[in-house]
C-alpha cells in the first residue's frame, strides 16, 4: 500500500473525486488554505494498493493538470480604464502537487 | 517514531481524543470532508514511539471500530408513508482507516 | 525529496509562511484543530529537496520555537479579585512538532 497526498485546485476537486470513485479508489479530503497552488486548494489523501499507484497518478494528472484557459475580459468596476484589457486572455489554471508515501501498516477497523 | 494518520467518523472523534490523552498520546486533528467513510469524518495525526504503535492502534480500534447500531424509526415528515419503516433498523456506524507511516526525523522546537 | 509536516501555533503561522516563501520553499496549510499544542494550530505540508531539509527545519525553529512571553495583567471582569494577578506574568507561547517523512515519488502535473 501507498498513501498518496495530492494537493489540487478547488475547481478540479469535484471532478477528481468523481473519477476516483468511478475507479474504486478510496480517498478523504483535507481542508487546505493556499500554498503550493495559487488559488484555493484541497488535499486528497488516497490509500492505494502498490499495483494501482500508476493508475491513480494518471487519474490525478488527467483531471488536474495545469493548462491554459481563455478568460473573458472583465469590465473594470468604477473605472481605471488604463488597465482594462478588452480581449480574452490566456491564464494558467489547475495543477497538482503529488506525494507518494510509503506506509508501514494499513488497517481498517 | 511513527506517524499514524487515522480517519475516523465525527461521532467517535471526541471519545478517541479523550482516550488518546488518557494514554499520553499526543495528536492533532485535521478537518476533513467525506471520503473513506460515509458521513463527516476527522483525521487524527498521532506521533507515536515505535514500541507504543500497537497500543495506539488498539485504542483507535476500541473507540472507532465499525459496529451495528439500532436506529429508532423516524416519522416521515410530510408523508410518503410508503417508505416509512415503523420499527428500529440496524445501521452500521463508526469505522476507521489507519495508515502507519515511517518517519525520517522527529523534532519538537 | 522529503515531505515535512509541521504543526505550529496559529500566532506563528503567518510569519512562518512568509519565511518559507522568502526562501523558496513551497508549502500548503492544513486546517487543524487543537492537539499537539495548546491553542489553535496550523499544519504545514512542505515538499523539500533532501539537501534543503536542514535549512527548512532551521526556518521552522527560528519562527516557531517555544519561548516565554510577558503577558500584561487582565482586569477580572465582574470581580473575583482573589484570583487577580496585578503584575505581568510569563507564559510559554509557540512551539512546533515536526515530522520529516520519506517519499517514494514526487510529481507536479
Ligand atoms: Ni505497500
Ligand atoms: Ni522510529
Ligand atoms: Ni528524496
* Residue of B28, B43, B47 for testing the chain C interface, max C β-carbons within 10 Å: B28
Residues A25-70 have pLDDT tens digits of 999 888 766 445 445 788 999 999 999 999 999 999 999 988 888 8
Number of the ligand closest to the Cα of B1: 2
C-alpha distances in Å from residue C42, one per residue of C12, C26, C31, C85, C102:
9, 16, 6, 31, 21
What are B87's three cell numbers?
Answer: 420499527
Could you list the residue range(s) of the whole structural domain that residue C94 is in? 2-70+88-102
Tell me if A6 sits within 8 A of A100, measured CB to CB.
no
Please check whether residue C6 lies inside any domain of the structure.
yes
**Nearest CA of chain C to the CA of B81: how many Å?**
42
Q: What ipTM score was computed for the predicted complex, to two decimals?
A: 0.80
Between B101 and C42, the more confident residue is B101
- Neighbours of A, requiring at least 3 CB pairs below 8 Å, are B, C
What is the mean predicted confidence (pLDDT) over B79-103? 80
Q: Residue B40 domain-assigned?
A: yes
State how far the Cα of A27 lies from the Cα of A46, in Å rounded to an integer: 4
CATH number at residue A54: 3.30.70.120
Q: Is B14 domain-assigned?
A: yes
CB contact under 8 A, A95 and C107: no
Average pLDDT of the residues of chain B: 85
Buried b (16+ CB within 10 A) or exposed e, B72-104: eeeeeeeeeeeeeeeeeeeeebbbbbbbbbebe
Question: How many Å lie between the centroid of ligand 3 and the Cα of residue B102?
Answer: 14
pLDDT tens digits, C3-30: 999 999 888 999 999 999 999 999 988 8
Q: How close, in Å, is residue A82 to chain C by CA atoms?
A: 31
Residue C59 to chain A, least CA–CA distance (Å): 17
- Supply C73's cell numbers: 495583567
In this prediction, residue B1 carries a pLDDT of 94
Note the ligand closest to the C-alpha atom of A3: 1
Specify if A34 maps to a domain. Answer: yes
Render pLDDT for B58-82 as a digit per residue (tens, 0 to 9): 999 999 988 888 877 666 555 555 6
Cell numbers at A21, concatenated: 470513485
User: Which of A27, A47, A28, A36 has the alpha carbon at shortest distance from A9?
Assistant: A36
Start-end of H helices in B4-99: 10-22, 53-64
* Residue C36 domain-assigned (yes or no): yes
Q: Would residue C94 count as lying in a domain?
A: yes
- Three-state secondary-structure class, residue C76: coil
Backbone angles phi, psi at A13, to 5 degrees: -65, -45
The beta-carbon neighbor of A101 closest among C3, C27, C30 is C3
pLDDT for res B76: 57
DSSP category for residue A78: T
* Phi/psi at A21 (5° precision): -60, -45
> What is the Å distance from ligand 1's center to A3 Cα?
9
Count up the domains in chain C and report the number: 1
What separation in Å is there between the alpha carbon of C48 and the centre of ligand 3? 8
- The ligand placed nearest to the CA atom of residue C99 is 2
The span from the CA of B17 to the CA of C35, in Å, is 9
Which ranges of A45-90 does DSSP label H, i.e. alpha helix?
A: 53-64
The C-alpha of A64 sits at a distance from chain C's nearest C-alpha, in angstroms, of 7
Measured distance CA(A91)–CA(A87) in Å, rounded: 13
Integer angstrom CA distances of residue B101 from A79, C72, C95: 54, 43, 23
Q: pLDDT tens, C36-95?
A: 544 578 899 999 999 999 999 999 999 998 888 887 766 655 555 566 667 777 888 889
List, for residues A73-103, the tens digit of each pLDDT value: 666 555 555 666 677 778 888 899 999 999 9
Q: In terms of Cα–Cα distance, which of B106, B105, B104, B97 is closest to B26?
A: B106
Q: Give the residue from A98, A76, A94, A97 showing the smallest Cα distance to A85.
A: A76
C24 in any annotated domain: yes
DSSP state of A75: P
Q: Do A26 and B97 touch (CB under 8 A)?
A: yes
Q: Is A78 part of any domain?
A: no
**With bands split at pLDDT 50, 70 and 90, how would you rate the model's confidence at B21?**
very high
Q: Is residue C3 within a helix (H) or strand (E), and if so which, with residue range?
A: strand C2-9
* B20 CA distance to ligand 2 middle (Å): 19
In the reported structure, the alpha carbon of residue B66 is separated from the centroid of ligand 2 by a whole-number distance in angstroms of 29
Amino acid at each position: 500500500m501507498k498513501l498518496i497526498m495530492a494537493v489540487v485546485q478547488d475547481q478540479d476537486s469535484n471532478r477528481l473525486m468523481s473519477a476516483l470513485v468511478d475507479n474504486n479508489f478510496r480517498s478523504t479530503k483535507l481542508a487546505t488554505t493556499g500554498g503550493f497552488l495559487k488559488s484555493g486548494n484541497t488535499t486528497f489523501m488516497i490509500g492505494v494498493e502498490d499495483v494501482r499507484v500508476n493508475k491513480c497518478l494518471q487519474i490525478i494528472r488527467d483531471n488536474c493538470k495545469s493548462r491554459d484557459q481563455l478568460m473573458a475580459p472583465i469590465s473594470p468596476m468604477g473605472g481605471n480604464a488604463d488597465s482594462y484589457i478588452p480581449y480574452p486572455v490566456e491564464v494558467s489554471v489547475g495543477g497538482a502537487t503529488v506525494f507518494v508515501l510509503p506506509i508501514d501498516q494499513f488497517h481498517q477497523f
